[in-house]
Amino acid sequence: MEQVVQQLINWLALGAITALLAVGFSLLFGVLNVIHFSHGDVALTAPFVAMGVLIALPAAGFGVAIIAAIVLVGFMGVILDWVSIRRFRSAPPMMALVATVALGIVLRELIRLLYPNGSNPHSFPRLFEGTAFTIAGATVSWLVVAMIGCSVLTMFALTLILYRSPLGMRIRAVSQDLEMARLAGIDPNGIFQATFFIASATGAVGGLFTASYVGLMRFDMGIIAGLLGFSAAVIGGLGNMTGAIVGSLVLAGLETLAQAILPDGAAYRLVVAFTLVLVVLVFRPAGLLGRVPVPKV
């Protein structure tokens, strides 16, 4: 029983981290109709930014460094959109895809070259220490509680922003019909910038929890983290925020199950996860909660 409960805890923790990344992919695709493949790399710069702030301003404290990293990474997303991504909004999708892949490589290389000993793994402190409680003999750390709780609160906040605020109304209007939104007086560029900030800041939270959960940060961690977040968004239905959450839980559940029942399961968890992506793409291309577009005549 203890092992079962522990695996359930691991599943929720992994699903919470993946959801924070997957929601960013879905939000950006839903509004911009662009697959932002460097989103994982943007999110995983947050631990480096936090440690950089802490080194530069040691008196500020770790909490201030974390908040600064989330805000700065949010603005980093806005800057990347302004510098590169917006140039490809009217271009064929493949051009935007290649551009964002290139952006990810640039970010990883900049971290590797500019951060002290950037090619080597660096330890990252736990955001929360200690054991919160015990269930059936399985211990639940405060870090896991914070990961799950923060993920739930973030999803709740995003839902309020999208469906209960003037900004959310404008975001949804732009995502549904850009030309009609422009005729209604909505500035698309401002909405794109706001969307990039929200998605990048949300991803930064996931990046910080990822580094804290594994206890280290590497310049190339954004590759796998981004692929898992994107895969979860695809499984749930790219462009659907609820689908991103469902896809994250499904993907995390399969990874956890593979590690629990397969011999040396940790080595095969990614094989199992991406096999699921292939199966979903073959039998349900729109995702579990996605809608197949109906052509209008």
Average pLDDT of the segment spanning 141-154: 93
Percentage of the chain exceeding pLDDT 90: 43
Average pLDDT, the chain: 88
Residue 289 pLDDT exceeds 60:
yes
DSSP 127: S
Each as own residue / partner, the long-range contacts of residues 57-60 (CB below 8 Å, 24 or more positions apart, any chain) are none
Average pLDDT of the segment spanning 130-136: 84
Predicted TM-score (pTM) of this structure: 0.91
Instruction: Give the other-Cβ count within 10 Å of 6's Cβ.
Output: 18
Average pLDDT of the segment spanning 21-49: 89
Q: Give the phi and the psi of residue 216 in degrees, each rounded to 5.
A: -155, 165
For residue 253, is it within any domain?
Answer: no
- Residue 75 contacts residue 197 (beta carbons within 8 Å): yes
For residue 137, is it within any domain?
Answer: yes
For residue 192, is it within any domain?
Answer: yes
Average pLDDT of the segment spanning 4-19: 90
For residue 262, is it within any domain?
Answer: no
For residue 246, is it within any domain?
Answer: no
Confidence of residue 263 (pLDDT cuts 50, 70, 90): confident
> Can you point out the beta strands (E) in 131-207?
131-135, 138-141
Confidence of residue 295 (pLDDT cuts 50, 70, 90): very low
Structural domain of residue 82, as residue ranges? 2-219
3-state secondary structure of 33: coil
Which region among 54-58, 93-97, 239-243 has the lowest average model confidence (pLDDT)? 93-97
pLDDT of residue 109: 93
Per-residue DSSP letters for 241-289? HHHHHHHHHHHHHHHHHHHHHSTTGGGTHHHHHHHHHHHHHHH-TT-SS
Residue 44 pLDDT exceeds 80:
yes
pLDDT of residue 292: 58
pLDDT of residue 291: 65
What amino acid is encoded at 70 in this protein?
I
For residue 279, is it within any domain?
Answer: no
For residue 228, is it within any domain?
Answer: no
The Cα 96–Cα 46 span in angstroms is 24
Average pLDDT of the segment spanning 1-21: 88
Please choose, from the candidates 225, 252, 270, 274, the residue with its C-alpha nearest in 3D space to the C-alpha of residue 41: 225
- Give how many domains the chain has, as a whole number: 1
Q: Tens digit of pLDDT for each residue in 208-226?
A: 999 999 999 999 999 999 9
pLDDT of residue 50: 94
For residue 213, is it within any domain?
Answer: yes
